[in-house]
A and B are shown apart, each in its own frame.
Chain A
Amino acid sequence: MISVEEFREQARAWLADNMEPRVDTGLRIRGAGHKTVESITESRVLQRRLFDGGFAGITWPTEYGGQALTGAHQQAFEVEAARYAMPDFGVAGGTTFGVCGPVMLAHASPEFLARHIPRILAGDELWCQFFSEPGAGSDLAGVTTRAVRDGDRWVINGAKIWSSGAYYSDYGMCLARTDWDVPKHRGLTWFAVPTDAPGVTVRPIREINGDIEFCEEFFDDVLLDDGERIGEVNQGWSIAQAMLVYERGASNEHRPVPPGPGALASDFVELARAQGRERDPVVRQLIARAHTDDYVMVQLQARVMQHLRLGTGHGAGTASFAKLGTGTTLARRARIGMEIGRGPALVWDPADDEGRRTALNYLNGRVMAIAGGTNEVQRNGIGERVLGLPREPSFDTDRPFNEVLGNAANWTGKP
Chain B
Amino acid sequence: MSAVDLAITDDQEMLRAATAGFVQSACPLTRIRELGETGADVGADYVRSGAELGWFAMLVPEEQGGGSVSGHGVLDAVILAEERGRLLQPGAFVATNVVADALARLVAGPEQEEALTSIVAGAARVAWVLADRAGDWGAPGVRAVGKGDQVVLDGTSTLVQDADVADWLLVTANGEGITQVLVRADAPGVTVTPKTGLDITRRFADVTFDGVTVPGSGVVGGIGEGGDDVERQFDVAAVLTVAESVGAMDAIFTDTVEYAKVRTAFGRPIGSFQAVKHLLADTALVLEQSKAIATAAARALQEGRDDAGEVASMAKAFVGEGGIELAQNCWQAFGGIAYTWEHDLHLYLRRLTADAALYGEPAWHRERICRIHGL
Contacts and interface: CB of A to CB of B under 8 A. Distances in A.
Contact of B268 (A302, A380, A390): A390
B339 interface: no
A302 B296 CA distance: 10
A383 B278 contact: yes
B373 A264 contact: yes
Given A260-B311, A291-B369, A383 B288 contact: no
A117 B189 CA distance: 83
B268 A296 contact: no
Interface string A272-310: 000000100100110111011101100110110011001
Nearest to B268: A390
B6 A380 contact: no
Contact of A288 (B285, B293, B366): B366
B278 A312 contact: no
B375 A287 contact: yes
B106 to A, nearest CB: 27
A383 B285 CA distance: 10
B280 interface: yes
A324 interface: yes
Nearest to B300: A260
A288 B284 contact: no
A288 B369 contact: yes
Nearest to A320: B281
A362 B355 CA distance: 34
B334 to A, nearest CB: 15
B272 A391 contact: yes
Contacts of A111: none
B265 interface: no
A392 B285 contact: no
B285 A296 contact: no
Interface string A365-409: 000000000001011101110111111110000000000000000
B269 interface: yes
A328 interface: yes
B125 interface: no
A321 B370 contact: no
A321 B280 contact: no
B292 A302 contact: yes
Contacts of A303: 6, 288, 291-292, 295
Q: Of residues A259, A261, A264, A299, which shows the largest number of chain B Cβ atoms within 10 Å of its Cβ?
A: A299
B285 A382 contact: yes
Nearest to A318: B288
B277 A379 contact: yes
Contacts of B363: 285
Interface in B277-313: 277-278, 280-282, 284-285, 288-289, 291-293, 295-296, 300, 305-307, 310-311
Given A328-B285, A379-B278, A383-B280, A295 B260 contact: no
A204 interface: no
Nearest to B287: A321
Nearest to A290: B366
A389 B257 contact: yes
Interface in B240-257: 257
B277 A384 contact: yes
A281 B280 CA distance: 33
Contacts of B306: 260
Given A295-B293, A383-B280, A384-B277, A288 B317 contact: yes
A296 B277 contact: no
Contacts of B292: 296, 299-300, 302-303
A309 B291 CA distance: 17
B299 to A, nearest CB: 10
Contacts of B195: none
Given A379-B277, A387-B271, 4 more contacts: A260-B311, A303-B291, A387-B284, A393-B268
30 contacts: A260-B305, A284-B367, A285-B363, A288-B369, A288-B370, A289-B317, A295-B293, A296-B289, A296-B293, A296-B318, A300-B289, A302-B292, A303-B288, A306-B6, A307-B6, A310-B7, A324-B281, A325-B285, A376-B278, A378-B281, A379-B278, A383-B271, A383-B280, A383-B284, A387-B257, A387-B280, A389-B261, A389-B271, A392-B272, A392-B273
Interface of A: 259-261, 263-264, 269, 278, 281, 284-285, 287-289, 291-293, 295-296, 299-300, 302-303, 306-307, 310, 312, 321, 324-325, 328, 376, 378-380, 382-384, 386-393
The list of the 7 closest CB pairs from A to B, nearest first, reads A288-B366, A383-B277, A389-B271, A379-B281, A382-B281, A299-B292, A264-B373
